[in-house]
Structure 1
Amino acid sequence: MEIFILAFFALGYLVLAGADIGVGMALPYLGRTPEERREVIAAIAPFFLGNEVWLVVTAGVLAGLFPKLEGELLSGNYPLVVALLLSWVTRDAGLWLRGRLTGRRWQSWWDGAIVAGSWGLALSLGGLLGGVLVGLTGALAVLPVAVLAALFGAHGLAFAALRLRGEPRRRAAALSGGAGEARTYALTASALLVVGVLAGLRLPLEPGTSGAVLVPAMLAMMPLMVAAQGWVWWTFRHRVTGPSYL
């Protein structure tokens, strides 16, 4: 049961947050003008905070139910974990601060922070997953990182094609061949799920001794998170029609 709980939250984060990470990576391509970039950001604005909750819960599950694995992942991948956290803060700072002032230079600076933070998240997550899956070292370690970062980018483009309209949607849908963005999103989501499952199968998943207390709490939380995520997706199911609060 502990393994199922960890897989549920970790895989949920990869698929859900992978979309907004990919959109941030492609922001300069999707939004060529300040107005277009605001619409692109509006595509992920209702989702990104809720998606991050899945990462927080995943970290809590690791610490509470798999303390040995958490220690091995942190000690063996300390630079990647630090890079992930710094990228997370950078990306979110860009999203929150870009709209606080109206100057072109101010917004361009924080747009750059969104792009840099999104790429940092994709590369650090790709490094963690690639290290577990392939275990390459040295220069060869770049290969799985590049492949997984490209997968995040493709997932984000498919999500953007589902959410945007006009010219930004046309750019995003180039990957989907036009109107096939739902199919492409399903394919990229499935690919991320496969990567996550394969990585999990290679990890030493040995539960700790606190499952009797934490497992019921986690099981109670899971339907609430699914319901909240479903509500957000249903509420914002329509395409973006203008800039958001960000």
Structure 2
Amino acid sequence: MVLILLLQRCIQLLILPVYLLSYLGLWDPLCKKIFPYIMAKCSTQYNRKLFQQKQDLFSSLREFAGPSGELRLLEIGTGTGTNFQFYPPGCRVTCTDPNPNFERFLLKGVTESSHLQFERFVVASGEDLRPVADSSMDVVVCTLVLCSVRSIEQVLKEILRVLRLGGALYFLEHVAADHSSWGYFWQQVYYPSWKLVFDGCYLTRETWKNLEQTNFSEIKLRHIHVPLYWTPVQPHIIGYAIK
């Protein structure tokens, strides 16, 4: 524990200007503006690393289309729209993100995804999806979102509300490493500074437990290791849960 605290302080010293900006109340608005640019760069590499896993995951989306054959999909924390390429043609997509600065990047993704039907972009957090009606969605997609929300439980409650009976939540999230591993050790070291720099991202959440404790009728979940070398976000969970 002493070693972890010592290493945390070393990292904090390295990014001292960020901590000073945070203390002055200037970092959060600045982070909200620059974070979309960071994600636009990182998401390209991330998609390359997980292209096959994402393609396999989303290949079953059509199975959850409604009686009319249409697939109504809500993506929470859409960001730059990196998942659009994996959605089936004709899918009706509603996008949400709590950060309005993502909209310009999202619009670029929309123009490059003519195979989809875009309904609207809503500035909303995952904990409060009031603009989305009850039981109005066939599928909800959540990738790299539950790591940074204030309450996973509330987000999952909202997801269950907007999903129709028999609809599904598709997820891909980085999670805590095994507690006995070096990976978990370094997650604890990086955690305070990582959370500050990456807009509230938690490194040590055991998100699979939240999913298992939620009232889904069926969960198909796998733990995978993503080769994002020199980062503390290699352990992931991937799968879907049916309402």
> What TM-score comes out, normalization by structure 2 length?
0.30
Taking CA–CA contacts closer than 8 Å with sequence separation of 6 or more, which of the two structures ends up with the larger relative contact order? 1
Structure number having the greater helix percentage:
1
Structure number having the greater strand percentage:
2
